[in-house]
């Protein structure tokens, strides 16, 4: 059985930390709290999984994302969070703005996988087919990490 932490005990410390310049910069570099925590754990924190076993009962997705933050272990439950954290880390590395969320390819991949397993049936969807034609020359890097014209020439 998991216990829920008493968040009020950390409220004053949290308020003090969140006002610091470092925390403000960190918040600007991450679009979501979960991806920011995964990035922080992968780069700075030295906590072992037994120290945050309580998190599994509170936020299961974050629990599994932290487990694979800086490893090749595979937990599908946290895969999306880790992917976003890694995209944000690449954006920081290249000095690009925080990437916009993009899940179209993930949804399409899940749909194709479910079709192959016979879990859903393929029905004609003109809108989806139109999007597929538009995305023929789609670039993963440009879509996830959009570059402004000024930064295109830096590479």
Domains in the chain: how many in total? 2
> What span, in angstroms and rounded, lies between the C-alpha atoms of 82 and 75?
10
Give the end of a domain, one of 67, 83, 98. 98
How far apart, in whole angstroms, are the C-alpha atoms of residue 99 and residue 91?
7
Domain-embedded: residue 152: no
Q: Are residues 60 and 39 in the same domain?
A: yes
**Domain range enclosing 117:** 102-140
The pLDDT tens digits of the residues spanning 6-57 come to 889 999 999 999 899 988 988 888 888 899 899 888 887 677 778 888 888 8
pTM of the model: 0.61
| pLDDT of amino acid 67 | 85
Q: Is residue 10 one of the residues assigned to a domain?
A: yes
Phi, psi of 64 (to 5 degrees): -70, -30
């Amino acid at each position: 059985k998991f216990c829920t932490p008493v968040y009020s005990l950390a409220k004053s410390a949290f308020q003090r930390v969140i006002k610091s310049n470092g925390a403000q910069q960190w918040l600007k570099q991450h679009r979501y709290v979960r991806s920011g925590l995964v990035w922080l754990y992968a780069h700075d924190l030295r906590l072992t999984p037994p120290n945050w076993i309580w998190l599994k009962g509170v936020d299961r997705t974050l629990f599994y994302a932290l487990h694979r933050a800086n490893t090749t272990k595979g937990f599908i439950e946290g895969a999306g969070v880790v992917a976003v954290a890694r995209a944000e880390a690449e954006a920081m590395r290249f000095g690009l703005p925080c990437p916009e969320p993009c899940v179209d390819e993930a949804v399409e991949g899940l749909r194709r996988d479910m079709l192959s397993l016979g879990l859903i049936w393929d029905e004609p969807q003109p809108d989806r087919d139109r999007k597929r034609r538009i995305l023929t020359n789609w670039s993963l890097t440009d879509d996830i990490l959009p570059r402004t014209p000024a930064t295109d020439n830096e590479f």
